[in-house]
Copies of this chain bind each other. A is one copy, B any other.
Amino acid sequence: MTLYVYKFGGTSVGSVERIKAVAEKVKSAQDEGNQLVVVVSAMSGETNRLIALAKDIQQQPTDRELDVLISTGEQVTVALLSMALHQVGCEACSYTGGQVKILTDSSHTKARILHIEDQRMRSDLAKGKVVVVAGFQGVDEQGNITTLGRGGSDTTAVALAAALKADECHIYTDVDGVYTTDPRVEPKARRLDKITFEEMLEMASLGSKVLQIRSVEFAGKYNVPLRVLSSFAEGQGTLITYEESEMESALISGIAFNRDEAKLTINGVPDRPGIASKILTPIADANIEVDMIIQNIADDATTDFTFTVNRNDYLRAKKLLDTTCAELGAKKVSGDEGIVKVSIVGVGMRSHAGIASTMFQALAAEGINIKMISTSEIKISVVVDEKYLELAVRTLHSAFNLDQAK
Name the contact of A87 in the complex, choosing from B16, B58, B68, B72 (C-beta under 8 A).
B58
- The verdict on A72 contacting B65 (CB below 8 Å), with A83-B54, A87-B58 known, is no
- Which of the segments A29-37, A73-81, A190-198 contacts the partner chain? A73-81
With A57-B83, A58-B83, A86-B58 as contacts: A50 and B65 at CB distance below 8 Å: no
**Cα–Cα, bound, A330→B86 (Å):** 45
Given A83-B62, A98-B98, does the pair A20, B57 have CB atoms closer than 8 Å?
Answer: yes
Judged by a CB distance under 8 angstroms, whether A355 is at the interface is no
- Contact flag A68-B57 (CB < 8 Å), given A62-B83, A62-B86, A83-B62: no
Interface pair B78/A68, CB less than 8 Å apart: yes
- The interface centre, meaning the residue of A66, A79, A84, A87 with most chain B CB atoms within 10 A of its CB, is A79
Answer yes or no: A325 CB below 8 A from chain B CBs. no
Count this chain's copies in the assembly.
Answer: 2
Interface residues of A in 63-104 (CB under 8 A from B): 64-66, 68-69, 71-72, 75-76, 78-80, 82-84, 86-87, 93-94, 96, 98-99
CA A96 to CA B82, docked complex, whole Å? 22
Interface size classification for chain A: 35 or more
Give Cα A66–Cα B80 distance, bound, in whole angstroms: 8
- CA–CA, A99 to B71, complex, Å? 14
Name the interface residues of A25-44: CB closer than 8 Å to any CB of B: none
Kindly state the separation between the CA atoms of A84 and B84 in the bound complex, as whole angstroms: 36
- Report whether over half of chain A's contact residues are helix, strand or loop; otherwise say mixed: helix
Contact A16 B53 (CB under 8 A): yes
B66, B71, B84: which contacts A57 (Cβ < 8 A)?
B84
Which of chain B's residues has its CB closest to A20's CB? B57
Does any Cβ of B come within 8 Å of A56's Cβ? yes
The 8 Å CB contact of A143, one of B50, B68, B71, B99, is B99
> For the complex, is A19 an interface residue (Cβ under 8 Å from B)?
yes
Give A136-154 as 1s and 0s: 1 = Cβ < 8 Å from B's Cβ atoms. Answer: 0000000111000000000
7 inter-chain pairs at a CB distance below 8 angstroms, sorted by A residue, are: A53-B80, A54-B79, A62-B86, A65-B82, A68-B96, A69-B76, A96-B145
A residues at B contact (CB < 8 Å)? 16, 19-20, 50, 53-54, 56-58, 61-62, 64-66, 68-69, 71-72, 75-76, 78-80, 82-84, 86-87, 93-94, 96, 98-99, 143-145
